Structure 1
Amino acid sequence: MEKDYSVAIYPSEAIISLVKSMKEQLAKEVGWFHSKNSVGHITICEFKATDTEIEIIKNQLDRLCDTLQPVEVTLNGFGSYPNGAFFISPNAVSKNSLKPIMKRIQESLRVRNMKKNDDPHLSIARRLTPENLERAKALFTTIDVDFLCDSIVLRKFDENIKQFVVIDTFKFNNNPQPELIQGTLF
């Protein structure tokens, strides 16, 4: 049976705590909203996979992440999408560092019907009404935090709590890709 999975970047524990408190603060202003209880993260992709497929995917992620280099990420702005999402955004340098990592991960996974994220952001809320989106923008105006992105997480959707939970972490080891050495026969 296929299950729902997500590959994401988790910021530092301090930023995860900050995002949680921001979500709580926003909930006091506007009431419940989508993603209120989700742990702060930057989604890379979501997909469905069987138990057999997920083991192959874990191996693919392990091999890829072994070659990736950690990058410093600065989160210094807020933004929103027309669908009512309100989020913390990385600065331009950080976005330019994260996008190739996200693209490599998406391209390396051989899964069908993958939902890809090509704009790195850390959601505070999703599907806010236009009025509540304006309240969020008024509530949160400045932010400037950073973290070292040195791993990604694989998350599985838990039907009981209706949230993704981390099932594996893959460290960026900055190891060069092994080169294919072509031997000679004669």
Structure 2
Amino acid sequence: MNLKLNRDWYSVVIYPQAKVIDEIAVMKDKFAAKIGWFASRNSKAHITVVVFMADQYELNFYIEQIEEFCYTQKQQEVVFDQLSLSKFSRAIVLLPNDLSKAYLTDLLKRLRKQLRTSQTINGSNAHISIGRELSSAQIELAENLYDQVSLKFNCDTVAIRKFNETKRQFEVIKTFKFLENPLIDTQYLLFN
């Protein structure tokens, strides 16, 4: 009898509202019209927190940790207004402004700490990918493709995505809203 459980790839991401997801899709469509298919062409806008492999029981652990984190997490508007075209990283990404970067850096650090196990792989600094694994020529074609970019959204949702082998994409399987509840001091409760 084989008791070994199947393990799948998952990612935990900060997930923007539909309007921003649609705006990023338009940017990807414009880039695809210029160069054709590219890595992360069909991926919906997100900010990667961690990636991990898990069976159904391990996944439940991550779900509980995310629920606990989101219970007290406060929402905040973030702005992505810097377009980075990097031949070194072979990517085109949107970066947050300084105020949003500070908030997101802290948010990602605390959420990664909450989820830290030997199974997790941290994402990088907060960014939203337009295209990845691009050639220098593809990046050059994109240099004058976009006007000034400024995307704003209320940072209020974490999502778990599961890798779909058939589509070769991660797909959202569960979302969690920031509930903004007060932190309960358990030591204080002991004296009441």
Q: State the TM-score, normalized to the length of structure 2.
A: 0.90
Instruction: Give the gaps of 5 or more residues in structure 2.
Output: 1-5
- Could you tell me how far 1:45 is from its partner in structure 2? 1.2
2:104 aligned partner = 98
CA contact (8 A) 2:16 2:157 kept: no
Query: Does 1:46 find its partner at 2:51?
Result: yes
- Could you tell me how far 1:113 is from its partner in structure 2? 3.8
1:40-119 aligned within 5 A: 40-81=45-86, 82-119=88-125
CA contact (8 A) 2:49 2:122 kept: yes
Q: Which amino acid aligns with 2:79?
A: T
SS of the aligned residue for 2:22 comes to helix
- Could you tell me how far 1:112 is from its partner in structure 2? 1.9
- Return the match for 1:23 from 5, 28, 38: 28
Mean alpha-carbon deviation: is it higher for 162-171 or for 107-116?
107-116
2:179 aligned partner = 173
For residues 130 and 22 of structure 2, what CA distance do their matches in structure 1 show? 12
1:12 aligned partner = 17
SS of the aligned residue for 2:81 comes to strand
Query: Does 1:139 find its partner at 2:145?
Result: yes
Identity rate, percent: 34
For residues 71 and 118 of structure 1, what CA distance do their matches in structure 2 show? 20
CA contact (8 A) 1:74 1:91 kept: yes
For residues 80 and 105 of structure 1, what CA distance do their matches in structure 2 show? 28
Q: Which amino acid aligns with 2:33?
A: K
CA contact (8 A) 1:102 1:118 kept: no
For residues 55 and 89 of structure 2, what CA distance do their matches in structure 1 show? 31
Give per-residue Cα distances to partners, 1:45-95, cap 9 Å, x unaligned: 111111100011101100111111101111111013422110111111001
SS of the aligned residue for 2:32 comes to helix
CA contact (8 A) 1:6 1:155 kept: yes
Report the RMSD for the aligned CA atoms in angstroms: 1.4
Instruction: Give the gaps of 5 or more residues in structure 1.
Output: none
Query: Does 1:162 find its partner at 2:157?
Result: no
Query: Does 1:130 find its partner at 2:141?
Result: no
Runs of 4+ in 1 over 4 A off after TM superposition: none
Q: Which amino acid aligns with 1:65?
A: C
Q: Which amino acid aligns with 1:162?
A: R
- Could you tell me how far 1:149 is from its partner in structure 2? 0.5
Q: Which amino acid aligns with 2:149?
A: I
For residues 128 and 156 of structure 1, what CA distance do their matches in structure 2 show? 24
Give per-residue Cα distances to partners, 1:15-54, cap 9 Å, x unaligned: 1111111111111111110000111111111111111000
2:3 aligned partner = none
SS of the aligned residue for 2:187 comes to coil
For residues 119 and 35 of structure 1, what CA distance do their matches in structure 2 show? 17
1:148 aligned partner = 154
- Could you tell me how far 1:176 is from its partner in structure 2? 2.2
